[in-house]
Every structure is written in structure tokens, then in C-alpha cells.
Structure 1
Amino acid sequence: MSYYLSPANFKGAYRGVPSKSITQRVLFLSTLLDEFVVYNPLWANDIKETITVLTKLGFEVTGKEDAFFIKKQRKIESAEISLLGSATTLRFVIPFAFLHLQKLTINLSENLQTRFNDIYGDIFQKNDISYQNKGNKIIISGSLKGGKYQIPETVSSQFISGLLLTLPFLKEDSELILPNKTPSFPYVNLTVELLEELGVIIEKKENGYLIKGQQKLQKNSFIVENDYSQAAYFFVLKELGENIIINNLKEDSFQGDKEVVKILTAISSAKKGDKPLLVDLYHYPDLAPILFVYTALSKKEIIFKGLNNLKHKESNRLQLMITNLRKVGQRLEYQEESLHFYPSILKGGIKVETANDHRLIMSLAVLASFLKEGLYFDSLEGVNKSYPNFFSDFTILGGKISVT
């Protein structure tokens, strides 16, 4: 079965979808109290994986769409879990599990083996934790203690967030020392702000954080706000002239991807004949595919930089987006980690390559809707990872999909 997405006109109000990043973080933190309620959570494959992990750690998670109810069921000393696709769950559970147990065995899918970019091994072994990474399996045992944790340069901010979610609840105080530069750093800020909203004190310093131990959550419930990164596709529809109203997004959100609004404004304001606008996506890699689509459709000359981290996502997003955009006629130059877009005449009618990557599927769905010949897709199921209702929202607003 394959799918054809054809040209469409969009109209209506986009209602939003709960933030995956916040839902993930709050779910882990919820296990620190005997009972906790998460309101307005996201329900998607990555969240299902996290819930399965929490169940293995001795917690009961009930509810689904409107709220999750988390309750401590039993005390365990060791657990074995299997992870298929959620790198976030993997990077969070490795330190966090040791607030609850002494030994953790993790079985990894082939996809996660290639994406993990492990830095925990060196960190843990320096802190007297037994850590064995066998490729398809990680075995960790010991007692995690507070102290000085120095993060090496990494391709993911999630390692830092994993430790931030853990260190305040150890017996000892800790110091977290960060590298000079970390991609997607707004997600670290989001983690800190979320902890502080729940009553945890994190002291910021020039090169990291000082963290008091033995802290407790001061709230037993949390309302998850809606997601800016998922709204980005609909912001682009609106910017392309469609009659779309964006609702239910928190204006003072700490989500880094709310930067999409400013970036779209800057791209739309770029004028022919001016020096090409330079857009740095080092901290906003999840926005890259849809911003590439917007740039191609708006026929602007734009240079994107800070793209290296796109190679280490669910797919090599950089290479696949370059391939697909060139197929539809977009003139591109890629050199020295920058991608130069030139105004081009686009033509669809081709089958795109997505590697079933959720963000590529959603971005190319937007592209298909503005090409006279549309685009063909082998599968649309990848969106279940982060936004299962994407195509429901997309078609309600006017998107057109047929099975071929």
C-alpha cells in the first residue's frame, strides 16, 4: 500500500497537541511520589515505551488521553527492559532508574544501537558504577551517588537532561559541568524550568549547575502544555497564505522550538537581491525539515547552518531532505555543514524517501500539498512515534490523501 498526497487548500483552527518532551520528563518525575497525575499528556509510541519502562520499574500507569495516573506498586532491586525506538526514554532511564533499583539491563533495537552515542559509560565508571555496553544490550549495576559529573561534548542534550532529572533526588549534593557547546540546549533549559515548576531548586552557574541532594517534588500533578515543534507544520501552512488559526499554545513557553515563529518571520521578510539570510539551526534540529520545505516553497535564497545533528536522528534527515528536495527541482549547495537554498521551480509527481521518519513524513506532506503533481509515500505510519493524530488534523483542515 502506498499513498498519494495531492494539492490542497487549508482552512480552520489548529487545536494543538500535547508536548512529547514535557510528557516524557514529567512521567519520569512522577515516580518520585507515591501518586501523581499528568494532565493533557501526549499519547504516542515514544510515550508508550516510557510507560512500559515505568511499569518494569514497579509503577502502575493508568489512563490514556486526558490524564495519566501513576502509582507506586512495588519495590524492585533489578529490572530488564527492551527499547525499540525512543532514544529519549533510553537516555533518561539510564541514570534515573537508579533512584529506584540497583541493576538495570536494557535490550536495544538496531536503530537505537546506532543512535545512542553513549557517553554514560565513562561518566558512570568514574563514579563507581558497573557499566557494560555490549551493543545490543547495556547492563548497569551499583548505587548512583551525588558528586561531580562532567559532560563531554555530545550530539544530544538528552544526556544532560537525564542527569538533571536524577541528581536532585540523590542523597549527596552534585555539580554538573557542561561542555562549551551542546546542541539543542533549549531542551536542557526546558528540563530545568520543569524541575523548578515542581519545586526543585537548580542553581545555575557559568559552566553548569550546582544541585542540592535529597530534594522532593512539591506538587503531585502537572498539566502538559501543547507542542510548538508539532505546531510548526501548521505555522508553515499559515505563513504560506492558508487560512489557519493556531490555538492553545503557551506564549511564555520555555520550549525552544517556539523559535519557529521568529525564524519563519525572518525567512518571509528576506528580499530578493539582499544578502542571503543565514539561519542557525544548531539548537533547533527538529525544525529543520519543515523549515527546508517552507524555504523551497517560498522561493527564498537562504543559508542554513548548524545541521550536523540532523545526521543522528531517526534517520539521516539531512541527506534524505537534500535527496527529496533535489528530486522535486530544488537547487541546493551543501558544503562545510551549511545548506544553501536558491529560488527554484518545483515539480512533484515523485515518490519521496522518508525512512518512516515522523518529521520527514509530516514535512513532506506539507510540501506535497503545494505541488501541482503532489507526492507519493510508501508509508505514513511513522507519525505514530510522536503525533498519531497528525493526518487527522491535517485532513480536517483540508489536506488530501488517497491510497494508491
Structure 2
Amino acid sequence: MDILLDNKRLSGTIDAISSKSYAQRAIFAAILARRKSNIGLDTLSEDIESAISCAKALGCKINYKDKTLTIDSSAEFKNNIVVDLGESGTTLRFLLGLLPVLNIKAKIIRRGSLIKRTNDLLFNLLKSAGVKIREENENIYIEGFLGQGNYSLRGDISSQFISSLLLSLAYHDKKSLVKLETKLQSKSYVDMTIDVMEKFSASVEEKENKYIVSGPYRPTDYKVEKDWSNSLFFIGAGVEVRGLNFNSKQADMKAMDFIKKLGYENISNCGVKIKKQREADEYRILDAKDMPDTVPILSVLSAKEKGFTKIVNVERLKYKESDRIKSSLDLLNRLGVKAVYKDDSIEFEGRGSFTGAEINTYNDHRIAMSAIIASSFSEDKIKVFGTECIDKSYANFLDDFKRLGGSYSVI
């Protein structure tokens, strides 16, 4: 869907949506718990529904009612299954670990940008353990068994590979060791995985460059906490967002430290509402290493303030829903900001406001939402092409945007 946005400021209060990252982890833990678990989940998204589709394909009984997702995995798992994952990279990587641990043969169907996203590191590890994997166009075919044991892999490509192994290997009663060959990037996402695993009674022992895990998982009642990454879009627009956990393991919460560099402080007693208190720092650095998903929206927020911004450790952004280096640069430049990429960094000088523009989302939900929020700081109307990608993580985003004072028309 293509939309034309008016340049109107947002205001009001909104409840944060459920964290899709926590929800996906909880769904996989519930599958492995082998009985009935109840997951408190206020909102769904395409990524969450992709994880639910895995549970259904395996034969779990699923019910979603009154903001509670019930997963009953007590029946014998189905074999020789087919699962369509859409474009959910996290779900794919978690499933690649789960299937061989359960010794289940499967055909996995990928869509869109997910077909091109790299999984070689996990493929090679599984193949070395005797699991058969082959790719054929959008399909992945997998069969074989991954037992308890000692495994090692790099930690600087994707934390999802490590999370996949930890989640899955803990299904075995006996201990398994996962050793990191390099320093772990985006450690907070692995910490989130461990947090969920322990809530479902799995044992996780973290030592230097290694994790020791074992089961069994046990069914539980689990409440998914609210999502910091998606909340940042409305926080940045000046809306009060409620329900967030200030002790969260979500690294995206650290975006608030960067927002302070822009001269804003939280003035809410029961949520997050930022207010300008001083001029922005003239020179500011954003480290994308542990919170890559925040780069598009924080780029927009920083670009509307005077001063120089350097975003470092962005190389891994190439492997997101889009090449997020390219798409973020294009977003900024179309808004009238002269942004460049050099030496693993994005650099630009803020301009105070934005020009009218036509924005390509590159089928990336975070680029789309960032462009929509940018319209509230624009001097003229902004067109955004392909906003349907927002459903991946925040299905009601445009409804919430409109309720908070935003205005757009479909073109």
C-alpha cells in the first residue's frame, strides 16, 4: 500500500505492543515443554504468527483468546511437515535448530527477502553433525537428528544462530555445550533467549565464551513484556508510551541514552514521554552493534537536530530485511539530509527539519515506520511506497498513527 502523509505532529498516550522477539522465543520454548503453556500476548504480528505456524505444523493445539496464546504440545509431533514462514528470519533460524533436535523431516518455505538472507553458518554446523540440508529456490529441505553434544560456531554473524542452538539443545535432558569462536555480537538477544528458557525451567550456565544448557523444559504461564524497538517510533514523535519494562534485557531500551544526546529527557511518571530540555550535542555517536533495529528511527530523530551524527558498527545492517545501510541512507537523503557511508559508519549533518519526499521502504518495516514518523517533522507532504511490510512487526501501526493525530491517504 502506498500512502501520502500530511505533515502533522503527533500527541497523546498509547500502550506499547508486545515484544515479538520475546513472543517468538516463548512460543518455541512452549513447543518443547510438551504440555500446555499459556502465553500472555497482547498483540500479534506476521513474525509472531510465523512462529505460531511452526507449532501448528508440528501438531500442537493452538488457541488465542482474550490476549492469551495457549500452546498444547502434549501430543506426538507430526513428521514430514511443510511450514511456510513468510519472511520471518528469526522464526526460520529457531526452526532450523528445533527440527533436527526433534528428528523431524520438513520442507520449509521462505518468502521475499528471507530467501537471500544468509544461514550458512548454521547450515554448516548442522551438516557437520549429520543433518541433511539442501536449498532449492525458496525451499529448504531438512532431515536428521541433532543430539546432545559439544558445538562451536562464530558469534559475530548473527546472535540468532546461537539462540537457535541454545533453545533447541536444552530439549535434551543431558548437558550440551555451545562454544563461541569469536566475540558475540548483539549479546542482549541471547540474554533474552536465556531469560525465556529459564522461565520455562531449562538450565543455562554462562561461562566465558561458552554456554552449557540442558532440559527439561516445563510448561508455564508466561507474560510477554512490551516492545522497546517498536515503541521508539512513537516515543520519538513525542507520544507518551506506557507499559515498558525499565529493567528489560532488550538492548533497544538503550536508545534512550542516545535520545538524551539529542537534548530530550523523559518527563513521564508512568511511561516514556520525551521533552526537549536543551540543544542537542554538536557531535554524537550511535553504536549500532547491540541495537541494529534502532538505526532507522534514531537516524531520523538525529537528522532533524542540528549537529553531526556518526553511526558506527553498521556492517551487519546489510543482512536485515533490506540492506539497511543502503535503505537508511536512501531514506535520509530523500528527506534532504546529506548522508554517506564510509569505514563501517553512516555519517550526516542534521538539518532541523525535512523536505517533502518520496520514500521507498525496500520492503523493510523499520524503514517504512521511520519514514512515516519523519512526516511529522517535514516541511511538506511525504509519500511512502509499500507500507504493507509494517505488518511484519506492528500490524496496527497506521491505525495508532492516525489515532494519535497523524494523517494520510492511500494513493
TM-score between the two structures when normalised by the length of structure 1: 0.92
Q: Give the whole-Å Cα distance in 2 for the aligned partners of 1:107 and 1:391.
A: 29
232, 254, 262: which one pairs with 2:249? 254
2:281·2:307 contact (CA, 8 Å) conserved in 1?
no
In structure 2, relative to structure 1, the CA distance for the partners of 1:59 and 1:147 (3 Å cut) is same
Partner residue in 2 for 1:11:
11
Q: Give the whole-Å Cα distance in 1 for the aligned partners of 2:177 and 2:140.
A: 26
Cα deviation, residue 9, structure 1: 2.3
2:107·2:141 contact (CA, 8 Å) conserved in 1?
yes
2:329·2:340 contact (CA, 8 Å) conserved in 1?
no
What code does the residue aligned with 2:144 have? Answer: G
Write the deviation string for residues 60-95 of structure 1: whole angstroms up to 9, x where unpaired: 211156011112344323322222211111000011
1:117·1:155 contact (CA, 8 Å) conserved in 2?
no
2:103·2:146 contact (CA, 8 Å) conserved in 1?
no
Q: Give the whole-Å Cα distance in 1 for the aligned partners of 2:121 and 2:387.
A: 33
Write the deviation string for residues 201-237 of structure 1: whole angstroms up to 9, x where unpaired: 21111012112x34232x5210111100011112212
1:165·1:191 contact (CA, 8 Å) conserved in 2?
yes
Which SS does the other structure have where 1:202 is aligned?
Answer: strand
What code does the residue aligned with 1:216 have? Answer: Y
Which SS does the other structure have where 2:170 is aligned?
Answer: helix
After TM superposition, the structure 1 = structure 2 runs for residues 136-155 of structure 1, keeping only pairs within 5 Å, are 136-155=138-157
What code does the residue aligned with 1:36 have? Answer: S
260, 265, 269: which one pairs with 2:260? 265
Number of aligned residue pairs = 396
Which deviates more from structure 2 when the two are superposed, residues 153-162 or residues 251-260? 153-162
Cα deviation, residue 194, structure 1: 1.7
Which deviates more from structure 2 when the two are superposed, residues 70-79 or residues 258-267? 70-79
Q: Give the whole-Å Cα distance in 2 for the aligned partners of 1:69 and 1:123.
A: 33
In structure 2, relative to structure 1, the CA distance for the partners of 1:145 and 1:272 (3 Å cut) is closer
In structure 2, relative to structure 1, the CA distance for the partners of 1:254 and 1:334 (3 Å cut) is same
Partner residue in 2 for 1:241:
none
Partner residue in 2 for 1:189:
191
Which SS does the other structure have where 1:89 is aligned?
Answer: helix
What code does the residue aligned with 2:197 have? Answer: L
Partner residue in 2 for 1:119:
121
User: What is the percent sequence identity of the aligned residues?
Assistant: 28
After TM superposition, the structure 1 = structure 2 runs for residues 191-210 of structure 1, keeping only pairs within 5 Å, are 191-210=193-212
Which SS does the other structure have where 2:379 is aligned?
Answer: coil
In structure 2, relative to structure 1, the CA distance for the partners of 1:209 and 1:321 (3 Å cut) is same
96, 107, 113: which one pairs with 1:105? 107
1:285 aligns with 2:292: yes
What code does the residue aligned with 1:9 have? Answer: R
Partner residue in 2 for 1:378:
385
Q: Give the whole-Å Cα distance in 2 for the aligned partners of 1:88 and 1:333.
A: 29
Q: Give the whole-Å Cα distance in 2 for the aligned partners of 1:135 and 1:155.
A: 23
In structure 2, relative to structure 1, the CA distance for the partners of 1:272 and 1:125 (3 Å cut) is closer
2:192·2:250 contact (CA, 8 Å) conserved in 1?
yes
Write the deviation string for residues 87-132 of structure 1: whole angstroms up to 9, x where unpaired: 1110000111234343222233352220133222221122222233
Q: Give the whole-Å Cα distance in 1 for the aligned partners of 2:280 and 2:10.
A: 27
Write the deviation string for residues 184-205 of structure 1: whole angstroms up to 9, x where unpaired: 2210111112212332221111
Q: Give the whole-Å Cα distance in 1 for the aligned partners of 2:91 and 2:97.
A: 11
What code does the residue aligned with 1:56 have? Answer: A
In structure 2, relative to structure 1, the CA distance for the partners of 1:272 and 1:5 (3 Å cut) is closer
Partner residue in 1 for 2:310:
303
2:371·2:384 contact (CA, 8 Å) conserved in 1?
no
2:3·2:384 contact (CA, 8 Å) conserved in 1?
yes
1:76·1:101 contact (CA, 8 Å) conserved in 2?
no
What code does the residue aligned with 2:72 have? Answer: K
2:94·2:164 contact (CA, 8 Å) conserved in 1?
yes
RMSD of aligned residue pairs (Cα, Å): 2.1
TM-score between the two structures when normalised by the length of structure 2: 0.90
What code does the residue aligned with 1:279 have? Answer: L
1:343 aligns with 2:345: no
Q: Give the whole-Å Cα distance in 2 for the aligned partners of 1:253 and 1:347.
A: 33
In structure 2, relative to structure 1, the CA distance for the partners of 1:228 and 1:74 (3 Å cut) is same
Q: Give the whole-Å Cα distance in 2 for the aligned partners of 1:317 and 1:207.
A: 29
Structure 1: 4+ residue segments shifted above 4 A: 269-274
What code does the residue aligned with 1:254 have? Answer: K
2:39·2:223 contact (CA, 8 Å) conserved in 1?
yes
1:41·1:68 contact (CA, 8 Å) conserved in 2?
no
Write the deviation string for residues 235-288 of structure 1: whole angstroms up to 9, x where unpaired: 2122xxxxx3221111111111111111211233796785x2222111111000
In structure 2, relative to structure 1, the CA distance for the partners of 1:179 and 1:284 (3 Å cut) is farther
Q: Give the whole-Å Cα distance in 2 for the aligned partners of 1:58 and 1:8.
A: 48
Partner residue in 2 for 1:156:
158
What code does the residue aligned with 2:311 have? Answer: F
Partner residue in 2 for 1:403:
410
Q: Give the whole-Å Cα distance in 2 for the aligned partners of 1:347 and 1:273.
A: 19
Q: Give the whole-Å Cα distance in 2 for the aligned partners of 1:102 and 1:306.
A: 38
Q: Give the whole-Å Cα distance in 2 for the aligned partners of 1:29 and 1:2.
A: 38
Partner residue in 1 for 2:232:
232
Q: Give the whole-Å Cα distance in 2 for the aligned partners of 1:120 and 1:108.
A: 16
Which deviates more from structure 2 when the two are superposed, residues 32-41 or residues 85-94? 32-41
What code does the residue aligned with 2:304 have? Answer: L
Partner residue in 1 for 2:97:
95
Q: Give the whole-Å Cα distance in 1 for the aligned partners of 2:340 and 2:120.
A: 32
Partner residue in 1 for 2:240:
245
Write the deviation string for residues 273-314 of structure 1: whole angstroms up to 9, x where unpaired: 85x222211111100000000011122211111111111111
In structure 2, relative to structure 1, the CA distance for the partners of 1:350 and 1:278 (3 Å cut) is closer
